[in-house]
Every structure is written in C-alpha cells, then in structure tokens.
Amino acid sequence: MLRAGMWAMVAWMTLVGMSGCANKGRPAPVEDRTYSVSVPANKLPLGSENAGKAGFYTVKPGDTLIRIGMDHGQSWRDLVRWNGLENPNLIETGQVLRVVPPSQDVVVVRPVLPSAPVSSASAASASVSPAPAKLPLSPAPAPAPAPATVSTPPATAAADVAEDALVFKWPTRGNLIAGFDELKNKGLDIAGKAGDPVLAAADGRVVYAGSGLRGYGNLIILKHNNTYLTAYAHNQTLLVKEDQAIKQGQKIAEMGNSDADQVKLHFEIRRQGKPVDPAKYLPAN
C-alpha cells in the first residue's frame, strides 16, 4: 500500500510539471484596465457664441487673416490682437472672429467730496442709489432751471463726412487695361513697364506688405482712416514695411508681374472693406 501511494504521488507531480511546461512562454492573463475618454462629436468652434452678431465674422474654407482684414477694412495685426490669437496662421473653418474694435467700457469715477455726517439710515439709502453720470464740483444752494436742449449732430457723423471727403490721386501713369467689375475685377488694372513707380494714392499707414494673398502677388495695403483702404498688387519690388506712415504721392513699390500674366498694377479702393470703383474716386486722367 505504501509503495502504491508513493507511485500515485509521483504520477501526480509529473502531470503538474508537464502542465507547467505546456504553459511556459505564454503571457499570464492581464486585467484590461484601459478606458476611453468621451469626446463630443460636435465640438463647437472657437468664438461660436458670437456667430451671427454684428462685428463678427465666421471663417470660411480658404480664408486667411490678410483677406479677412482687407474684406473688413482692418489690419490683420489688429485682428490678432482683438481675438487674442497666438498664431495668426492658424485659424479654423467655423471659427468666429471679431472684425471691429472692441467696445470700450466707460467707467465714471465719483470724486470723494467732504460732507457732513449722515445718519446710518441715510448712509444705507445712499449705498444702493445709482451714482449720477456727472457730479458738480461744489453743491449749489438751490436747484437751477434745466438749460434748453440744443440738438447737435453726433461727433461720429462729422468724422464720417471728413473721411468720405478723402481725396485720392492716381497711383501710377499708364493705360487702363481693365476697369472695375464687382464680380470679375475688384479694381483697376493699369499697364506699364517693369520698375515703373507705384505711388500712394493718399496719406495712410501700411497694414500689409508681402505676398501672402493668392492672386495679388507682391501686395501693399494702406489704411487711410476708419473707412478706406487701398491695395496695390503685382509689384516686383516693395519699398515700404508694415506700420510705416505714408504720404500721398510717396513711392511705395515698383511695378511688376508677380502672380500676373503681364506687367501691370492692380489698384483697389475699399470702403469699409467693400471694393468700390476707383474711377469714381480718382480725378480725371
């Protein structure tokens, strides 16, 4: 019996060893503890809460800040600042951008004036009363009659008239080879020779100088006021840099054929970003 028991134990140990050899090299089962993060399928683009509001623009496929700025009469650098963009080259389709200056909140500061002590009830009442827009420098002994109301035009209206009265001059001499067409040609095309001078049509500031806008070649955009921009395209040489102040008649570029089929100047006038016929703003040539 003892010998039979020993043989049974040996047989059992042999089976266990063979089972271990059979599983040798196989990975032990591992509990899967991975998990997935739920991401909304319809992620809202940046600024979407302002979509459709006045003064905001929704980015379309192919848009660039340069084009958006020109189409709204603004500098692309202002768009970067107003929208807090870290990389001006990274804007997304559907993103909503501010294209007008942000409003400035006017804070009226009430001066601290010496006054007689007041009761706690009066102080509590004063603490919840709205502050008047203006306070007199010294208290009047008796209320004075209200002055007669005089109607005066708002200051912005006068400024608009002054801006509309801006006088432009021809940016170069040459034959007009293509006139304004709202759909096909957003300005005038003027023929010339390579190197002919391109002049500023009015006083202004350079808001763009480069070749980043497809179809315009080497381009200069001048901002003259809050209403008007002018654009000078297809130059061979640019002679000014961004943010430079420019005088009317100043040479800003040399004519060329960059991104064009011939040497010419493409000249645009934009009123609040919308192309208008330059011929209606230029003197008879």
Average pLDDT over residues 246-273: 97
Lowest mean pLDDT among 122-131, 136-145, 204-213: 122-131
232, part of any domain: yes
Q: Choose the final residue of a domain: 98, 113, 138.
A: 98
Q: How high is the pLDDT of residue 116?
A: 43
Instruction: Give the pLDDT of residue 36.
Output: 33
Mean pLDDT of 258-265: 97
The predicted model gives 197-216 an average pLDDT of 96
Residue 182 shares a structural domain with residue 92: no
Compute the distance between CA of residue 185 and CA of residue 187 in angstroms, rounded to an integer: 6
pLDDT score of 170 = 98
Cβ 208 vs Cβ 220: under 8 Å:
yes
Q: 168-204 pLDDT, tens per residue?
A: 999 999 999 999 998 899 999 999 999 999 999 999 9
Res 143 pLDDT > 50: no
The answer to the question of residue 203 being in a domain is yes
Does 133 score more than 80 pLDDT?
no
Residue of higher predicted confidence among 127 and 65: 65
In angstroms, the CA 110 to CA 60 distance is 47
CATH number at residue 213: 2.70.70.10
Which carries the bigger pLDDT value, residue 218 or residue 133? 218
Judged by average pLDDT, the poorest of 9-23, 134-148, 156-170, 262-276 is 134-148
Tokens in use for 110? Answer: 């009430």
Residue 278 has pLDDT above 80, yes or no: yes
Are 272 and 185 within one domain?
yes
Terminal-residue alpha carbon distance, the chain = 130
pLDDT of residue 142: 45
Residue whose structure tokens are 């509590």: 124
Out of 98, 127, 158, a domain closes at 98
211 located within any domain: yes
Q: Which domain range does residue 196 map to?
A: 176-280
- Return d(Cα 269, Cα 228) in angstroms, integer: 7
What total of structural domains would you count in the chain?
Answer: 2
In a domain, 268, yes or no: yes
Q: Say which residue, 188 or 25, is predicted with more confidence.
A: 188
- Give the number of other Cβ atoms within 10 Å of residue 100's Cβ: 15
Same domain, 184 and 271: yes
Q: What is the predicted pLDDT for the residue at 8?
A: 55
Give pLDDT, residue 285: 75
Would you say residue 95 has pLDDT above 50?
yes
Does residue 161 lie within any of the structural domains?
Answer: no
For residue 219, what pLDDT is reported? Answer: 98
Q: Poorest-confidence range of 42-56, 59-73, 80-94, 174-188?
A: 42-56
The pLDDT, as a whole number, for residue 225 is: 96
Query: Which of 98, 115, 139 is the C-terminal boundary of a domain?
Result: 98
| Spatial distance between the Cα atoms of 209 and 231, rounded to a whole number of angstroms | 10
CATH number of the domain bearing residue 77: 3.10.350.10
Verify that 93 and 182 share a domain, yes or no: no
pTM for this predicted structure: 0.65
Q: How far lies 47's CA from each of 1, 50, 104, in Å?
A: 89, 6, 19
Average pLDDT for the chain = 76
Please give the sequence-ordered ranges of beta strands (E in DSSP) within the chain, or none if there are none. Answer: 56-58, 96-98, 176-178, 188-191, 197-199, 204-210, 218-223, 228-238, 245-246, 251-255, 264-271, 274-276
Q: Is the pLDDT of residue 232 over 50?
A: yes
Residue 33 clears pLDDT 50, i.e. is over it: no
Residue 156 in domain: no
Q: Higher model confidence: residue 1 or residue 241?
A: 241
| Residue 15: inside a domain | no
**Can you list the positions of beta strands (E) in 49-134?**
56-58, 96-98
Least confident of 118-122, 217-221, 236-240: 118-122
Is 261 contained in some domain?
yes
Tell me how many degrees the CA angle 238-212-67 measures, rounded to the nearest 5.
Answer: 110
